[in-house]
Structure 1
C-alpha cells in the first residue's frame, strides 16, 4: 500500500452507522497506483453492493458503458490524461455520476478546475479512512436529496388528483383482482401496462406496485407524456448536454436519471410521438439511454410502468402506436375497473377523501349521511374516482350537495347513454331505482312505495348491486 495512505482507528464502525444505505450503492475507483486501488476497494467492498477498479480512463470508460455507478473516485494524475480533463469529457457526453477527485498535489488551480468540471468533492493525499468515507457519504446524501427534491417539486407542480392516498381504497369484487395483481407484480421487475378510463386510479396502482417492491428505497417518478410538448419530451426523459439545441445553456439530467434504481411511471404513454416511441423501445431493450446531444449511451436501472386510457390494440392497428413497443410494455396488463362497476367502494373512497381534503382545505371533516351516499350510488360516474374526489371537495366547501345540479347531471348522463345504445335496459332500471332511493333519503320503505314494488324486491336489487 502506498505510504500516502493513513488510517484512523474505529472508522469502520462509526461510518457504517453514520451513512446507512450504502449496501445498495456502487462505486468505480480510477487510479493508476495498485496500492491505492487495493486500499480503497478493501475499505469500500464491505459497505457497498459493488466496487470496481480501473487503472486508466480508457478502462473506466469501458466499465461506465456497461453498468451504472453511483460514484467515481478519480485520481487526477493518470497516464495520458488528467482526471480533471477526463471529467470535463464525460460531463460533455452526458454522464452525471458524482465524482470525488483525489490528488497528491495541493494545487488550488486544479481544485478550482475540478469543481468547475462538476466534481462533488476534492481530497488531498494522504487522507485518512474517515476522510474518504465522509466525502463519499456527503456525495450520497446530496444525490439522495437532489433526487428527492426534484421528485417532490414535480409532485407539487402536478398536484396529482389522488395525492395522499396510500393505495387503492375498497374491497369490491371488481377491485379484488387488482389488489392481488399489484401484490404479485410488486415482487418482479417486469414492465406493466395499466389500462382503464381516465380517473380510475392508474397512477395510484403504479405507486402501490413501487412502494411494495424492493425499489421503494428509491424514487417513483411520474410523467404525463401527453402534457409535455413533443419537441422536448426526449430531453425530459433522457436529459441533454450543454449546447445540444438552442437554449441548452447547461447540461441537464432527465427523468430516467432521477428514477435510477426506482420506478418511472409513463402516464398517457399513447400520446408519445412515433419518433420517441422508437427511442423508448431501445431504452427498454438495451437498458441504456442517450441524452440529447451526447455521443454515448448511459446504463440505467429503472423499472418502467406505463398507463393509458386509450384502446392500445386499436391504436396499433391504425398505425398510431408501434406494435413492438406495445408488446414490450404489455408484458403484464392491468385493467382498472371504472367506478360504476364498484359502487360499493364509494363510502370508503368518499370517507377517505373527506379526511384528506378537510385537512388540505382547513375545514372540519363532516360525516357523509345516507342521503349523500345514496345520491352518489345513483350516479354513473363518467369521471370515475377523480370525479368523486372533486364532488367531495365541492361538498366540503359548500356544506351540502346541490341536489338539482347533481340530479340533472345524472339524468342527462343516463339519457345520453341510452340514446347511444350503450346502456342496457337493466342498467337504466338500476339508475332509476337508485335515483328514487336517493330522493327518498335512503329510506327503502318510501322508495319501494314510490316505485310500486315490494321492499323485499328493492332490498334484493340493492344486494345485487352492492348498495
Structure 2
C-alpha cells in the first residue's frame, strides 16, 4: 500500500498499453486492463494519470480516458504525445523519455508513481534508469492480473517497488567487490568529453601499470590530484594482487599533505624518531615512510616540504633507507612514490625553494592536470555525478528544475565563473544547493542565491590581482586596476586579523600593502623565507641584512606576529 503525505496528491505516469489496454466493445469490461485497473483500487487513489501514447493510438487513448472517468471520476487523465521511430531502439527510447522527464513540471506537493507494466521491455528499462538516476522523482508501480486466469477480475493487483537501496547493503557490497575485482582501467571511472584529458589519463594508466618510477601530478588546488592518486593506487593494487610472485604484492596506500607539516614535527612525521630524540619524544615513532614500506606513498603539496626534509627524502628514494631522528641505525624501505603540487616546481628550483636533484628524481613521469576552467564541456556530467553522489549519501533524489539547471550551467560556463577552487568549488556548490533546496528540487531562486554566494567567494584577493597585472608581457595592454575591487580584496584579508577599529585607522595604501604581506607570510613556511621573498631586491643595499627581523618589525606596527597568520 502506498504510504503518502495526506496533503499530497498522487500522480501515475506510464505508457498506453497498445496490447493489454486494447478493446473496443463491451467485453473489454470483463478482462483486466493495466491502465484502467489503476482506477479500481480503493486504497490507491489516483488524482492524475499521465499517459504517453503515439498518434496512431489516439482512438485507443480516448477510449481509455473515458473508461477511467467511469471507474474513477476524480482522476484527471492527461495525454502526452511521444514519437518513437522504433520502440525497441534503446537510444531512441531513452532520449525520448529523458526529454519528457526534463520538460515535465514535477510538483513538490505530489507523490509520483511510474507505471512499469505497459510499454516495451526497452521502455521499462529506460524508466528504471531515469528513476534510479534521480531524473524522475517517483516510486515504481507494477500491476498484474489475477493469478487465476479462469476468474474474470478487471481489478487485478498492484505493487509498489521499493528502491530504498539501504535495504540491500549486502547486495551492494557484493556488487562493489565484484566491480573492484574486474575494474582494470582508470578510464572506467572517467566521465569526460575533453580529448586532451582522455589522452592524459590513458598515458597515466600505462605508466601506473608498467613503471615503478615516481609520478608527479602538477595542477591547481582542487584539480583532483588526490583522487587520481588513490585511483592509480587501486589500479596498481589490482595488478600486483594478480601477479603470481608474492614479493610483488603492493602494500597499503599512505597519503600526507605536506602543507600540514610545519616546523620540527615534519621530520618526525615523515621519518619517525626514537625515544628521547628531542623534548617531548616520550616514545618511538615509526613515521610515514616506514608505514609505506612495500606500498605507495603519496606526498601531496610536496613543494611545501623544507629543504632538509627534501634531502632526506631523496636519500630514501635513491638508497632505499633513512635514519629516524636520534637514531644511528638505518631503516630499509622500498616504496613507490607519487607526489602532487599546485606549485610549478621548475620555478621553485630556480628560486632555491626546491632541490634540483629531488626534482630531477621526481621528474621521470610528470603530468599536468587541467583545471575545471579547461574542461568546461565536462561540467554537466560532473553536476550529474554530484547529484547522484549526494543523493546516494543522503538516500534522497535531488534534481534541478529545467529552468534552474539551464541558469546554473549558463553561469558555470560563463566568464563570471572563475572556479578558483576547481572541482572542490563545484562539490561545495552542489552541497549547498541540495541542502538548501525545498523538497529536494533545486529551483531558480536557489540557483540565483548560489550564484551570488559564488561571486562573493570568488572576489580576488589583492595579491592575485597584482600578480595578474605583473604576469602580462610588456607588449600586452594592462587593464586598469579597479579601485573598488582592490579595496574589497584587501579588506577580505585584513578583516581576518584586525578589529574594525584598527582597520578604520589604516590608509588605503597601507591596507593594500599589509594585505599583500600577510598573504606572502601565509604562503611561506617560516618568517625567514617570507622575509627573503619580500626583501629580495633591497637586501644587498644593507650592511647587515636581517630579512626575518625586518618583517617582524613591520608586522609589529600592526600588532601582528608571523606565527598567528595562516
Q: TM-score, normalised by structure 2?
A: 0.42
The structure-2 alpha-carbon separation of the partners of 1:197 and 1:362, relative to structure 1 and needing over 3 Å to count, comes to same
Tell me: CA distance 1:411–1:243, structure 2 relative to 1, closer, same or farther (3 Å).
Answer: closer
Indicate the residue corresponding to 2:203 in structure 1: 181
Q: Which residue of 2 aligns with 1:170?
A: 192
Please give the secondary structure, in 1, of the residue aligned with 2:196.
coil
1:374 equivalent in alignment to 2:413: no
Structure 1 counterpart of 2:259: 226
1:205 lines up with 2:243 in the alignment: no
Look up the match of 2:217. 194
SS in structure 2 of the partner of residue 333 of structure 1: strand
Gaps of 5+ in 1: 1-164, 426-467
Question: In the TM superposition, what are the counterparts of 1:332-343 in structure 2 within 5 Å?
Answer: 332-343=365-376
Q: Alpha-carbon deviations, 1:170-189, whole Å to 9, x = none?
A: 23123112211221111210
Larger-gyration structure (1/2): 2
5+ residue gaps in structure 2?
A: 1-186, 242-249, 477-566
**How far apart are the structure 2 equivalents of 1:283 and 1:167?**
33
Distance in structure 1 (CA, Å) of the matches to 2:226 and 2:457: 29
Partner deviation per Cα, 1:259-306 (whole Å, 9 max, x = no partner): 222210001101111111111111111111222222121111110111
In the alignment, is residue 251 of structure 1 matched against residue 296 of structure 2? Answer: no
1:392 matched to 2:427 = no
Q: Distance in 2 between matches of 1:324 and 1:309?
A: 19
Tell me which of 254, 275, 279 is aligned to 1:242: 275
User: C-alpha separation between the residues in 1 aligned to 2:223 and 2:275?
Assistant: 40
- The equivalences for 1:145-156 within 5 A come to none
Could you say which residue in structure 1 is the equivalent of 2:294? 261
For the residue of structure 1 that corresponds to 2:195, the secondary structure is coil
Would the alpha carbon gap of residues 412 and 233 (structure 1) be closer, same or farther in structure 2, given more than 3 Å must change?
closer
Which one of the candidate residues 386, 391, 406 is aligned to 2:451?
A: 406
**Higher mean Cα deviation, 331-340 or 350-359?**
350-359
Determine the C-alpha separation between the residues in 2 that align with 1:307 and 1:360.
Answer: 28
Mapping for residues 238-317 of structure 1, pairs under 5 Å:
238-317=271-350
**Structure 2 residue 325 is the aligned partner of structure 1 residue 325:** no
State the alpha-carbon separation in 2 of the partners of residues 294 and 352 from structure 1: 49
Distance 1:413 1:227 in 2: 24
TM-fit CA distance, 1:365: 2.9
Secondary structure of the 1:204 match is helix
Structure 1's 260 and 329: CA in aligned 2 closer, same or farther, altered over 3 A?
Answer: same
TM-score (structure 1 length as normaliser): 0.51
Report how many aligned residue pairs link the two structures. Answer: 262
Higher RCO by CA contacts (8 Å cutoff, separation 6 or greater) = 1
Contact 2:408 2:447 in 1 (8 A): no
CA distance in 2, matches of 1:333, 1:320: 19
The residue that corresponds to 1:28 in the other structure is none
| 1:424-462 Cα shifts (integer Å, max 9, x gaps) | x9xxxxxxxxxxxxxxxxxxxxxxxxxxxxxxxxxxxxx
Deviation at 1:352, TM superposition (A): 1.7
Q: Secondary structure at the match of 2:340?
A: strand
